[in-house]
Amino acid sequence: MQIENLFRENEQFTSTILRFAGLIGGRRHPGRFFSSGKTIKDPDAFVNLIHRDDCIAIITKLLEQKIWGEVFNGCADSHPNKRDYYTNAARAMSAKPPSFDTPDSISFKIISNRKIKQRLNYTFLHADLMDFDYLNIP
């Protein structure tokens, strides 16, 4: 927030703040995130992720439309829980499913991408996080 405020308060230029969720795509396959045997905490919490292709397309749209002085949150449309998401990601790579911690409580933090969709007239290329065909598994 401090860095964002530095950009917002600077009178030498106008900027747009773009907050991306966790990055997937290309070599960043979520099936590898927990392949080292690490246990996933809060398995019933929702994931907030975005594909690299969408990041590039959103930045391009912002520059083309010359949108300055605003704040945007970038994430996919869907928000499955960690248990379903990372189990399916491991399955997509034919890997062993991850281990999950016993949940203490459920986290309901879901990032909204509504402003990007409305303001930029943007349709996500990879809106459904449970569709693993697009992750370019090497």
pLDDT at position 70 over 80: yes
Confidence of residue 136 (pLDDT cuts 50, 70, 90): low
Cβ atoms of residues 87 and 98 within 8 Å: yes
User: Over 60: is that where the pLDDT of 138 sits?
Assistant: no
DSSP assignment of 27-41: TB-GGGTTTTSPEES
Q: For the domain 2-131, what is the CATH code? A: 3.40.50.720
CB atoms < 10 A from the CB of 18, how many? 16
Alpha carbons within 13 angstroms on the beta-carbon side of residue 78 total: 14
pLDDT tens track for 116-126: 999 999 999 99
Among positive and negative, which fits the CA dihedral 10, 15, 20, 25?
Answer: negative
pTM for the model: 0.87
